A and B are shown apart, each in its own frame.
Chain A
Amino acid sequence: MEHHPMEHDPEERGSTPLIRLEDVAKTYRMGDVEVHALRGVTLSIERGEFTAVMGASGSGKSTLMNILGCLDRPTRGRYLLEGKEVSRFSADRLAEVRNRTVGFVFQNFNLLSRTSALENVELPLLYAGVPTAERHRRAIEALARVGLGDRADHHPNQMSGGQQQRVAIARALVNQPQVILADEPTGNLDSRTSTEVMALFQELGRAGITVVLVTHEPDISEYAARIVVTRDGRILSDQRRTPKRAERSPWEPVAVGEVAP
């Protein structure tokens, strides 16, 4: 088990971390070739932390995020989310975790095309079995929170990249998750829009939501309070620091409660 001097140990503080990876490895098999995407990662993330994962391409960032997001299961090691060993969960229980506990944001947005922003945001609630009226209310609320309250009936192809990513963020937070995981959320955005999106993430962080995001842009990582660097499927460094505050976004995020229809 790897132990980096900079890694902090949550056990010392006596509380259960939101996320705890213990010696997690992921090996892909491609015919006869084994690809070791993760080679033993041990990592704890506390509630409310804002973490950026950095590292060269192919260093295992996405694999790590997919495991954290319960989209994939580790080949070896344990993953505890809210103290529960989700690495042993069935596919259906993992789906529930994805639905209720984590919100995922992708580099390429992954919105349903030819489907309105509102319906895209409603999707997690649909699978959570939330009744129609409440679903609408909460989806509109989430859209308002990302500054798109007036674009509810727009389709993704009628929106800019930044707007699409904000819809995806609204979708990720609509079911009030414990943690939002974002794999290169600004990778397809220009720098101004990236800053807007980072401001949004910082705001969610201030609201108490745990955020883990992957980026390979140093200026993006500056907004995070903790930086985890990966290399060859291992954690190279893990540092905490005072984040830079993203400049105020041009839209006015509406506080929860103001938008009840």
Chain B
Amino acid sequence: MSWLQTLRVALRALARNKMRSFLTTLGMVIGVCAVIAMVAIGDGAKARVEQAFASMGSNMLIVLPGTTTAGGAMGGFGSQPTLTWDDLKAIQTEVPAVRWAAPALRANAQVLSEDQNWTTSVSGTTPDYFRIRSWALGQGSSIGESDVDGGTKVAVLGQTVVDKLFGPGANPVGQVIRVKNVPFNVVGVLTKKGQSPMGQDYDDGIFIPVSTFQQKIQGGLKNYLAGPMIVSATSAGTTDRAQRQIEALLRDRHRLQPGSDDDFSIRNLSELAAAQQEGTRTLTTLLAAIAAVSLLVGGIGIMNIMLVSVTERTREIGVRMAVGAKAGDIRLQFLVEALSLAVAGGFIGIALGMGLAWRLAASFGWPVLFRPDVIVVAVAFSGVIGVGFGLYPAHKASQLDPIQALRFE
């Protein structure tokens, strides 16, 4: 019997028991739907984390002033200035694995436009800051080296601040804002970056030259940075090396004895990102495992129904054998039935799974990712399940004795 005939016979047999076929398929539908949706959700979460870390800065280290307590617990970093401007310069020039380093002094302040006001974070920094964080300008220009050298009163705004002070969509470049009663010229606006992995709004802040910050916003000490610095390594692979080199350099510069605690601390964001990604990977694995279990349950459902079907149709099998069906024909017929159920379930599951993933992604604000490979794997897997779980019932059917089968009531 040809393949096409076998398929026709199988589909007709399934069509005869529509409700049962549908219910049998349902297990596969749910399984495949779960796989597709779960993988899409896992990927979406991962992409979301990656996106967030990308806006935090690639290969970024944060160097914080201050000591740890004897117990090892973190004790108020940044409260105690220990990092000097010379330290920053040394990190910039003497550490081979470092590409850029920039101060990140911060204060919260009320910022006023002509008719609005908004309390936000004001950062004093240098042009390298934006390079380290890979933040791009949407409008205007960035702070220049000459602004830092000259202590000019210019500001680059985050999108949230623009929205609050000038209204959504406005172009504030050339306008004047006031911070602590000091007028600043708006020279640029950063592109929208969204939230940090911890839920902080990256777009809610303004940036001014570090020299201006020290003169006009927060006095502070002359030789010391009143805040952290951010550093980027030359590449993702050199982040750890950069961390070790900075550590050695600062210990040397601060003349710390071997065995004594650091009077600074370095946070490695790629470690944090890796931890976060590990978390999402665990989540994805867990979800995939749950989905796989439901697929397995779907497969067992098919096997169960196929076994019932073989028993119910014993006489039919006997009749087919009596008129010339070979064991192989019978086996193939039931196998194709199981396969059809599984694959049909697979396709419906893919459609539903994609719909579900789309809905979830939309409501979480995640990017929707459909991986063709997952769809191929899901179809192939449902096929494998169909064959795997159909094999035993089909074999059982093929091994029936024609006489016994014809006698079966």
Q: Is A110 a contact partner of B403 (Cβ separation < 8 A)?
A: no
Q: Is A112 a contact partner of B316 (Cβ separation < 8 A)?
A: yes
Segment with Cβ contacts to B, from A126-134, A142-150, A159-167, A248-256: A126-134
How many chain-A residues does the 8 Å CB contact rule pick out? 25
Given contacts A71-B403, A110-B318, contact A123 B323 (CB under 8 A): yes
B325 partner residues in chain A, CB cutoff 8 A: 95, 127
Q: Is B322 a contact partner of A110 (Cβ separation < 8 A)?
A: yes
Q: Is B318 a contact partner of A99 (Cβ separation < 8 A)?
A: no
**Interface: B179 (CB within 8 A):** no
CB contact between A114 and one of B16, B321, B329, B403 (< 8 Å): that residue: B16
A95 partner residues in chain B, CB cutoff 8 A: 321, 324-327
B16 partner residues in chain A, CB cutoff 8 A: 114
A126 partner residues in chain B, CB cutoff 8 A: 1, 5, 9
The minimal Cβ–Cβ distance linking A132 to chain B, given in whole angstroms, is 8
CB contact between B319 and one of A72, A100, A112 (< 8 Å): that residue: A112
Binding site secondary structure of chain B: helix
The complex places the Cα of A129 from the Cα of B1 at a distance, in Å, of 5
A121, closest chain B residue (CB): B323
B320 partner residues in chain A, CB cutoff 8 A: 123, 127
Q: Which of B319-354 contact A (CB under 8 A)?
A: 319-329
B228 partner residues in chain A, CB cutoff 8 A: none
The minimal Cβ–Cβ distance linking A81 to chain B, given in whole angstroms, is 15
Interface residues on B, range: 20 to 34
**Interface: A96 (CB within 8 A):** yes
The complex places the Cα of A1 from the Cα of B402 at a distance, in Å, of 29
Given contacts A99-B323, A127-B320, A127-B323, contact A106 B2 (CB under 8 A): no
**Interface: B297 (CB within 8 A):** no
Given contacts A71-B403, A72-B403, A112-B316, contact A171 B1 (CB under 8 A): no
**Interface: A104 (CB within 8 A):** yes
The minimal Cβ–Cβ distance linking B11 to chain A, given in whole angstroms, is 14
The complex places the Cα of A66 from the Cα of B318 at a distance, in Å, of 13
A72 partner residues in chain B, CB cutoff 8 A: 402-403
**Interface: A60 (CB within 8 A):** no
Q: Is A127 a contact partner of B1 (Cβ separation < 8 A)?
A: yes
CB contact between A129 and one of B2, B318, B319, B327 (< 8 Å): that residue: B2
B2 partner residues in chain A, CB cutoff 8 A: 129
Q: Is A98 a contact partner of B323 (Cβ separation < 8 A)?
A: yes
**Interface: B315 (CB within 8 A):** yes
A115, closest chain B residue (CB): B12
B1 partner residues in chain A, CB cutoff 8 A: 126-127, 129
The minimal Cβ–Cβ distance linking A145 to chain B, given in whole angstroms, is 17
**Interface: A124 (CB within 8 A):** yes
A92 partner residues in chain B, CB cutoff 8 A: 326-328
The complex places the Cα of A99 from the Cα of B325 at a distance, in Å, of 8
**Interface: B137 (CB within 8 A):** no
Q: Which of B1-33 contact A (CB under 8 A)?
A: 1-2, 5, 9, 16
The minimal Cβ–Cβ distance linking B3 to chain A, given in whole angstroms, is 12
Given contacts A71-B402, A110-B406, contact A127 B324 (CB under 8 A): yes
A71 partner residues in chain B, CB cutoff 8 A: 321-322, 402-403, 406
Interface positions of A (Cβ within 8 A of B):
66, 69, 71-72, 91-92, 95-96, 98-100, 104, 106, 110-112, 114, 123-124, 126-129, 171, 175
Ranked 4 nearest A-B pairs via Cβ: A99-B324, A127-B324, A124-B323, A95-B326
Q: Would you give 9 A-B contacts (Cβ < 8 Å), ordered by A?
A: A71-B406, A72-B402, A92-B328, A95-B325, A99-B324, A110-B322, A126-B1, A127-B325, A129-B1
Interface positions of B (Cβ within 8 A of A):
1-2, 5, 9, 16, 315-316, 318-329, 402-403, 406
Additional A-B contacts beyond A66-B403, A96-B326 (8; CB < 8 A)? A71-B403, A72-B403, A110-B315, A110-B319, A110-B322, A111-B319, A112-B316, A127-B320
